[in-house]
Amino acid sequence: MKYLLIALVLLIPTAIFAEEAQQSMTINDIRVLKISPQDQRAVIKTQDRELKILNVGDQVGNGTVTEIAVDRVVIEEKTDSGAVTIIISLENGKQTIQKISKAVEEPTASESVKIEQGN
């Protein structure tokens, strides 16, 4: 029991630092090496040359992996001005990154009035 407690004390900071490092990582810091669409996993190499396996739902930088398909990994990032969809494609060993912004629409004055009248 004593050894289990010591092991937990040693492992908890490692897990916390690993999660912080993954959240501080940016899209430009990773290189997709392999995509396995049937397993919905991708192998990436980080800027510090560490290999990681990504699954749908994993955090990468400020985003979340939403799709792993035959030739791409899709990550959704939330920003103050809306959402950004990042598509990392892998074709013939070459990685390309596309960013698609989705702006949040501000309600017009007439829509604001309708909302206020509805309450």
Domains of the chain, residue spans: 2-104
Is the model's pLDDT at 77 over the cut of 70?
A: yes
Q: Are residues 88 and 72 in contact, defined by beta-carbon separation less than 8 angstroms?
A: yes
Angstrom distances, CA of residue 107 to CA of 79, 84, 100, 102, 111: 18, 20, 22, 15, 6
DSSP 49: S
> Rounded to an integer, what distance in angstroms lies between the CA atom of residue 117 and that of residue 8?
56
Tokens standing for 40?
């919905």
Band (pLDDT 50/70/90 cuts) for residue 27 is confident
| Predicted local confidence at residue 117, as pLDDT | 47
pTM for this one?
0.66
More confident residue, 105 or 88: 88
